[in-house]
Amino acid sequence: MAFVLNEKLRGMKAYEPIEGSYRIRLDANESFILPDDELEDAISEAVNTLAFNRYPDSAAAKLCSLAAEFYGVKAENVTAGNGSDELIGLILSAFLQKGDKVISFSHDFSMYSFYAHLVEADLIEIEKNADFTVDFDKVSKIANEEKARIIIFSNPCNPTSLGVDSKTIEKLIKSVNALVVLDEAYMDFFGDSLSSKIDDFDNLIVLRTMSKAMGMAGIRMGFALANKMLSDIIKTVKSPYNVNSVSQIIACEVFSRPEFIKQSINKIISSRDDLTAQFKALEEKHPEGLSLIGCAANFIFAKASRASDLYEFLKSRGVVIRLFGSYVRITAGKNFENAELIGLVDEFYGQGEDK
C-alpha cells in the first residue's frame, strides 16, 4: 500500500522568495537600516542574560506591553506571533471551518489565498478596478450575499503600494457581519491606522509587524491587535511557546527605543519619496515603458513594458527587484542603491524600443 496525499495538498506550491546573492536587493521590502551601536550593544547584553534551557514566556507579556504602548492600545489587546505570517495562518484556521467563505482581492498578498486553501475554505477573490483601487461597496455587497466569514486584505497594499483611508475601511467594517482582518504591515509609511479603533468593533483584527519599518525581519515578529474577546481566542488557539526567547528580548530592546523607530521610519519614507521622484522623472523620459501605480509603502509598484526582460537585465547587473507579470515592485533602499537602480532602468529603456 502507498500513502496518498489528501486532495488539498496535491499541487500546492511553497512560497518562493528570490534566492541567490546580489549586490543590491530591492525585492523583499526589507529595511536598509541596521541597529545603531547603542541598540546592538543592548541586544548583545540582553541575549547574554537568557536561560536558553528554559521555555520562553508563553504570553510574551513584557513584549506585548511595550508593543501596546507603541501602537496606542491596551496590553490585553495584543497577541505576539512568529511574524504576522503565523498570525494570518492562525486566524484563518481558527475562525474558518471547511466550506466557509473568505474574501480577498487580486492583487494582494499571496499568503491569504494559501492559508485559506489550507483550511479548505472557499476563497472569493475580488478583482480590483483597472487602476488597482477597490470598490468597497461591491465588497460589502458580495460579503453579505455570500455570507462571508472573513475579509482579509493589506493596507497599504502589497504589492500595489496603494493606501485606503481609514474612514472607507470603517464603513466596510460596519456594513458586514464578516470578520475583517486588516493587514497593516506597511502602515508605518502611510499613517492612517485603525489600531486605535479595535475596541469600537467586534469584527476587526489589525495585524502589525516589526519586519518593515523596524528592520527586524530576521527575528520574525508580528502582532494581532483586536478587542479582548477576539484577542482571547487568538491567545487560546496559538501554540504555547510560539515566540522564542531571543526574538522576544530583541523586540523588547527595539520597542524600548521609540525614537530610533521613528527615525528609521522617517529615513525610509525619505528614501521612498526620493525613489518615487526619480522614477517619475524616468516615467516622463520613457512614457511608453514605465507607469507608476503606487508609492504609499516602503516600495513602489509600476507597470513596465518588457517587465521580464527588465527584471533579468537588472539581475545580470547584480540588482534584484520583484516581478509581477507586467509589473515590478521595487523596495526603497539606500540612496546609492536607488540611484544605481534608476540608472540601470534608464539604460535598459534607453537602448530598447522605447528610446
Q: Where are the domains of the chain?
A: 7-30+260-350, 52-256
Tell me which fold the domain 52-256 belongs to: Aspartate Aminotransferase; domain 2 (3.40.640)
Q: How far apart are CA 218 and CA 212, in angstroms?
A: 10
Q: How far apart are CA 266 and CA 35, in angstroms?
A: 15
Looking at residue 355, its pLDDT comes to 38
pLDDT tens-place string over residues 283-316: 999 999 999 999 999 999 999 999 999 999 999 9
pLDDT tens-place string over residues 147-205: 999 999 999 999 999 999 999 999 999 999 999 999 999 999 999 999 999 999 999 99
Strands 204-209 and 222-226: antiparallel
Q: How far apart are CA 57 and CA 54, in angstroms?
A: 9
Q: How far apart are CA 249 and CA 254, in angstroms?
A: 9
CA angle 325, 327, 328 (to 5 degrees): 115
C-alpha cell at 168: 472607507
Looking at residue 19, its pLDDT comes to 84
Q: How far apart are CA 213 and CA 26, in angstroms?
A: 15
CA angle 82, 243, 98 (to 5 degrees): 50
Q: How far apart are CA 254 and CA 67, in angstroms?
A: 10
Nearest to 299 by CA among 206, 188, 193: 188
Q: Where are the alpha helices (DSSP H) in 96-244?
A: 111-118, 136-146, 166-175, 228-237
C-alpha cell at 54: 528554559
Just give the CATH number of 7-30+260-350. 3.90.1150.10
Strands 122-127 and 150-154: unpaired
pTM of the model: 0.95
Looking at residue 116, its pLDDT comes to 97
Strands 299-304 and 327-331: antiparallel
3-state secondary structure of 261: helix
Counting as low any pLDDT under 50, the low residues of the chain are 353-355
Nearest to 206 by CA among 238, 231, 237: 231
Looking at residue 1, its pLDDT comes to 78
Looking at residue 351, its pLDDT comes to 85
E strand or H helix at 145: helix 136-146
3-state secondary structure of 152: strand
Q: How far apart are CA 67 and CA 96, in angstroms?
A: 27
